[in-house]
Amino acid sequence: MKNPIQWLRSLVFITQMYLAMLVLGIVFAPWAMVSPKGARTACKTYARWSLWTARWMVGIRSEVRGQVPEGEVIVAAKHQSFLDILIIFNAVPSARFIMKRELMWTPVIGVYAKRLGCVPVNRGKRGAAIAKMVKDVAKESTEPGQLIIYSQGTRVAPGARKPYKIGTAVLYDGLNQPCVPAATNVGVFWPRTGIYRKPGLAVVEFLEPMQPGIARDEFMAQLEERVESRSDALMREAGFDPDQAAVQA
């Protein structure tokens, strides 16, 4: 049985989060329209506000481990909920995300994503869209920074197993940049769906970079093994057994 007081606190937290998104989106809009720096400042402010309020409203503390990536790199991250987006965006200097094209049409998020240089991709055409994006980057038509891709293509609940998509390897081959794997346990506390937020320590951990030049099949195998094994370890540290959850599923 979930704690009803915690459920109520979670509801209040989520409500104020969306209100803050709307307010900050409006306040920063004039600056964001004329400068990508304004859009990034707005999104950084929102991420910090959300992480701060999560700490004292619902008891979710956040922590970043490992060497935070800087410069021109690909970050191939485990995606469990909106929380890992907030933590990663707050941690790295200049993040831009590969995201579903539908999100570009959502209020506030879509406008700011465009200003940040996020890359929309079509469902079912992910490989082609990423290949086009590789060409655009090579022509210096996008802002430099850390390119965040969620290799499984969607949010994955703790303990669930979903295949890694080839798009990350297409980026890795085409951009000839280091790839930094990123593991997480945030889904234990902030699920991909629902209202309830569970207190605890949510972690995103940046792992050792994978340098350019690894063959595609080997790269994908290493990436999946490193991210999944470390994410499992972080979830166990949080008191969640991913192997047991996978069996029950």
Residue showing tokens 């004329």: 34
Given this structure, which CATH class describes domain 61-248?
A: alpha beta
pLDDT digit string (tens) for the chain, length 249 residues: 579 999 999 999 999 999 999 999 999 999 998 999 999 999 999 999 999 999 999 999 999 999 999 999 999 999 999 999 999 999 999 999 988 777 777 777 888 888 888 888 776 666 666 666 676 555 545 567 899 999 998 999 999 999 999 889 988 998 899 999 999 999 999 999 999 999 999 999 999 999 999 999 999 999 999 999 999 999 999 999 998 866 555
| In the chain, where the domains are located | 61-248
Q: Which amino acid is at 92?
A: V
Q: Is 115 exposed, middle or buried (0-12, 13-18, 19+ CB in 10 A)?
A: buried
Q: Which amino acid is at 228?
A: E
For the CA atoms of 227, 203, 186, 36, the dihedral, rounded to the nearest 10 degrees, stands at -90
pTM, entire model = 0.92
**Residue 140: predicted pLDDT:** 46
The answer to whether 186 and 87 have CB atoms below 8 angstroms apart is: yes
List, in sequence order, every residue forming a beta bridge with 97; answer none if it has no partner: 148
The answer to whether 45 and 20 have CB atoms below 8 angstroms apart is: no
